[in-house]
Every structure is written in structure tokens, then in C-alpha cells.
Amino acid sequence: MDQILRPATRPVMEAIFASQRAAAQADPVVPRALRADRLTRLETALTEAAPALIAAMSRDFSYRPAADCELFDITLSLREIRHARRSLGRWMRPRQVRAPLHLMPARGRLMPQPLGVVGILAPWNFPVYLAVAPLAAALAAGNRAMVKPSELTPQTAAALEAAITTHFTPEEVCVLQGGPEEAAAFTTLPFDHLLYTGSTAVGRKVAEAAARNMTPVTLELGGKSPAVLTPSADLDRAARRIAWGKGVNAGQVCVAPDYVLVPRPQMARFVRRLEAAFLALYPEGAASPDLAAIITPRHRDRLRSMLHEAETSGAEVIRLPSDAIPAQQHKFPPTIVVDPHPGLQIMREEIFGPLLPVVPYDTPEEALTFVAVRDAPLALYVFGTRREEIDLWLAQSRSGGVTVNDTVLHVAFDTLPFGGIGPSGQGAYHGDAGFEIFSHMKPVMIQPRLNAGRLMEPPVTPRKRQLLGLLRRMI
């Protein structure tokens, strides 16, 4: 527990960064065997520390189901590590690139090389997975890494630091403690790449700080991710999967469904099915053992304020039971808000909790416009059984990613890139994209002894002009 009370000072951060940068420069070629060894050590660290990490996460949240911690933070992290280790041979192989006609017979290739030292700013909502998944990609790419967890999950950060320290030297990987001041100092280090997961507002500050060092960034942010029911949607299936996606981590997920668009004739039936789906998942309401707590009382009070504004404005509110909650747990019941005014806070800000607005629409064009006039979301969920209805949304909407007839699970689809667009983020990682974002894909042109390069050298003779004219017509 003492580790929680020891934030890393700026001089400590700078010293660790300098040691990692020196080590990276001393060994610029990181062989496959060493990368695999580092991934294996990361897997061992996570496996050994899993019980401590699960207990720490529950304490940090005041209550978090062990099953959620096990699945979303431990199992998914192990999947990322193992997938990266299995893919090393393919990822590290130089990629051949076809030469353009005017440069033939030259050859081209892309050589993946480590960037050097990577910074990872992890959030509190999945404090292990969102630290370990990018770390696995960074190690697979041959980098050293510094990880700064959120100050809102200090016990998890301490357990993660202890696990990493046991299996890695500080020159390879380190975990740094601290609050907002330490996080701000962290962003000013001249990393070779910086990945941040969190709010859009803080993401802007991270990008500004990184820009001073010309540090490239990957920003995994959030926004209001809509779920859209097309007229052909299976209401029972949609209600069940939307309720599940909103209930995961008590809605504290960057890709949680933030509101639902429903054809007006189906509103009443869908709301009944949605309420039934929530009750089936959480029969004891907020006291259900499978529902996580809200991270802090301040975050819970924000949800209460949102709900109070919606209710006093005249929106219909359907709550699950909220009695019998242990006093020390910051729980909040899943709550449906029917047809709230678009100017309310609940419709303007990312909710990040188990409140779910349900909004009617009359035509597909109206629904598309409703989404389009707002910031492009990190995720979009489309429910339907008719191909043309689904294709309309795939073609005419903008979002970081899309899941059809489900919610949230595309994050675990680690052979697809994961990332946002516009205010919901920039850049993407997971799988191949994660390896490439943390690598310099160095372009190499190899010129054979016999080539046409001399055509470009002066003096320009009539014969060269004739050949260059022929080339211009051919390319």
C-alpha cells in the first residue's frame, strides 16, 4: 500500500526516460526472441498478479464484480499478449512493395523497426486492460515503455507496478504512480510515441503537450456512441444486447451505447423490452452483485444531476430498484430515459454511466441526420435484419467503428483496428494496427546496377528528351 503514496516526481520520470532512451539507442535491433521473451514475461506478470489485481480493482471502484475484472481486464489482456507473440514472425517480416513503372527495375520494401520509447497513459475504467493491451503492442514492436495509470485506481496501479517491477528492469518497462500533475509532466517527455485513452477534453491537452516535442500520438477518446434500431430490427435481441452493453462496468465504457434511436411506432414496445432486459440481467437493481459501482461519489453525483434535469424537464424515467445498496458502494441503478429533449445534458455530454436515453425517429434520413450533426462517435451499433437497412448506415454514417446486431464486443475483435475519428480519437491499435502504430515502417528502395537513373542526369540531349517523352506517355 505504501506504493500508492509515492508519486513519481518529474526528475524521476526524466531519469527513467533517459535510461530507456539510452538502452534503445544502444540496442536498436530487437530480435524476435527478445520480443517474445518480453511478451512471455508480461503474460507471467499478469497471470501471477491476477488475484491481487482483481481485488485491487474492486477496492478502487468500491465494488466491481470479480467476473468483470477477470474477463475484461485479465482475460482480454492475456489474449492481446498471446496474439502478439503468435504474430511476431509475420509482423516483423519486411513487406515487399511493387515498384512504379518509371522506377523499374528498382525494388521496394517496408522494414518494421522499433520507435524507441513509448508512453502509455491508461484510464481508470479498465485499468489493467487499457494499460496492458497497448503495452503488449509496444513490446511486440520492440520498444521500451513507460506506463502512467490513472490516479482514480491507485491500488490497481500499485499492484500493476509491483507485477511489472518483478519481471522487467526499469530500462525495459516501468509503471509510474501519481495524480493529474504527474500525468501532465508525463505528457511533456519526448516520447517516440504517446498513447492516451480517456476523455476528449484531456485528449486535447495531451495532444498539445506532445506537439511541443513533435511526439506522434494515438488518442482513444469517446463520445456519444448511438445504437440504432432499423425498422426490421429484432426488438428482443436488440434490447438484450443494448442492455448488456450499457450494463458492462455500469456503463463506464468509452464504447457503451450512449443513446438509442428507435422507429417511433416501435418505441413503446422497445422500452418495455429494454426494461425487461435490464431486470433479467440485474434482478436486484443497483444491489445486483453483477453490477459494478461508479468509480467515485463525484461521478455518481454527476449522473444524479443529469437524471434530475431530464426528469424535471418532463422526460419519462424508468428506474431499476436502488435500495439495499451497501453504504460504502457508489452504485447507481440502470435507468431508461424516454425521449429527452436534445438540449439536455444527458443528450449533450458522454454519459459514462448506466443512464440510457431512448429517442424516437420517423424516417431513416432523420435518424442519420441526428447522428451526423453531432461529433462522430467512437462506436455505432446498428440493429436490423434487412441488408439494405444496415448498408445504408454503413455507407452514410461516420464513426470510429461499427458493430452490427451487437454492442461493445468489437473492442475484443483484436484482428480489427480499434480507434476513433475526429473528437472521438485519432489513430488506431490492436492486432496488426497496434504493431504498426508502434513501429517505424521504414520505406527502402533498392536500385540495381542497371537502371534508368542516368536518363535524369544532365546534359539533356535530344535522345534523352525522346526517351523522357516516351516515359511520360507510359506512366
182: which residues sit within 8 A by CB, 6+ positions away?
7, 8, 9, 10, 13, 148, 151, 176
Q: Which of 410, 446, 416 is nearest to 431 (CA)?
A: 416
384 in Cβ contact with 390 (< 8 Å): yes
The owner of cell 520507435 is 115
State which amino acid sits at residue 64: R
Q: How far is CA 150 from CA 178, 254, 425, in A?
A: 8, 15, 19
Provide the pairing of β-strand 226-229 with 428-429.
Answer: unpaired
Which of 254, 350, 389, 436 is labelled catalytic?
254
Q: Which amino acid is at 363?
A: T
Q: Which residues pair with 121 in a beta bridge?
A: 148, 196
- CB atoms under 10 Å from CB of 451, counted, come to 12
Q: Which residues partner with 445 through β-bridges?
A: 108
* Annotated active-site residue in 80, 220, 350, 436: 220
Q: Which residues of 175-212 are buried (b: 16+ CB within 10 A; e: fewer)?
A: bbbbeeebbebbbebbbbbbbbbbbbebbeebbebbee
Helical (H) or strand (E) element with 425:
strand 425-426
CB atoms within 10 A of CB 64: 27
**Cα gap 81→40, rounded to integer Å:** 8
Q: Residue 69 catalytic?
A: no
Distance CA 461, CA 474 (A): 20
3-class DSSP state of 284: coil
Closest CA to 186 of 157, 224, 226: 157
In 3-state terms, what secondary structure has residue 392? helix
Classify residue 100 by burial, with Cβ atoms within 10 Å: 0-12, 13-18, 19+: exposed
Does the annotation count 174 as an active-site position? no
**For cell 477477470, what's the residue?**
70
Helix (H) or strand (E) holding 47: helix 32-61
Active site residues: 220, 254
